[in-house]
A and B are shown apart, each in its own frame.
Chain A
Amino acid sequence: MPIHKVKLVVLYKRSARDPEGETIARELRKMGINAVKSVRVGKIFVFEVEAESREDAITIVRDLAEKVRLFNPIVHEAWVNTSCLE
Chain B
Amino acid sequence: MGEYFMPRVAVLKFPGTNCEEETVYAVREISRVEAEIVWHEEFKWRMWDAVIIPGGFSYGDYGRAGLIASWSRASRELVEAADNGIPILGICNGFQVLVELGLLPGALTVNIDGVFHAKWVKVRINNPKGPWLVLAENGQIVEMPIAHGEGRYYHPEPHKIVVERPWIEYIGCNPNGSVASIAGLGSSSGEILGLMPHPERAAFDVQVPYPHTAGGKLFFESIGLSLRRGW
Closest A residue by C-beta to B115: A19
Partner of A20, one of B63, B67, B110, B152: B110
Knowing A15-B156, A17-B177, A69-B67, say if A75 contacts B114 (CB, 8 Å): no
Q: Smallest CB-CB separation from A75: which chain B residue?
A: B107
A74 in the interface, Cβ–Cβ < 8 Å? yes
- Least CB distance from B150 to A in Å reads 11
Interface check B113, CB cutoff 8 A: yes
Determine the residue in chain B with the shortest Cβ distance to A18. Answer: B110
The residues of B that contact A23 with a CB separation of less than 8 Å are 114
Whether B106 sits at the interface, judged by CB under 8 Å, is: yes
Does A85 belong to the interface (CB within 8 Å)? no
A20 lies within 8 A of B64 (CB): no
Q: CB distance B100 to A75 under 8 Å?
A: no
- Say whether A11 faces chain B, with CB atoms less than 8 Å apart: no
How many residues of chain B are within 8 Å of chain A by beta carbon?
A: 19
Interface residues as binary, A1-44 with B (CB distance below 8 Å gives 1, 0 otherwise):
00000000000100111011001000000000000000000000
- A16-B154 contact given A69-B67, A69-B70, A70-B63, CB 8 Å threshold: yes
Determine which of A20, A70, A74 lies in contact with B107 in the assembled complex, contact meaning CB atoms within 8 Å: A74
Among residues of A, the one whose C-beta sits closest to the C-beta of B177 is A17
B155 in contact (CB, < 8 A): yes
B71 CB–A CB distance under 8 Å: yes
Q: Assess whether B70 is in contact with A75, with CB atoms less than 8 Å apart.
A: no
* B residues less than 8 Å from A70 (CB atoms): 63, 67
Cα A75 to Cα B110 with chains together (Å): 11
Complexed CA–CA distance, A16 and B67 (Å): 19
> Which residue in chain B gives the minimum CB-CB distance to A23?
B114
User: Residue A84 at the B interface, CB < 8 A?
Assistant: no
Least CB separation from A12: chain B residue: B109
A69 touches B100 (CB 8 A): yes
What are the residues of chain A within 8 A of B70 when measuring CB–CB?
Answer: 69
Shortest distance between the CB of B112 and any CB in chain A (Å): 6
- Kindly state whether residue B222 has any CB partner on chain A within 8 Å: no
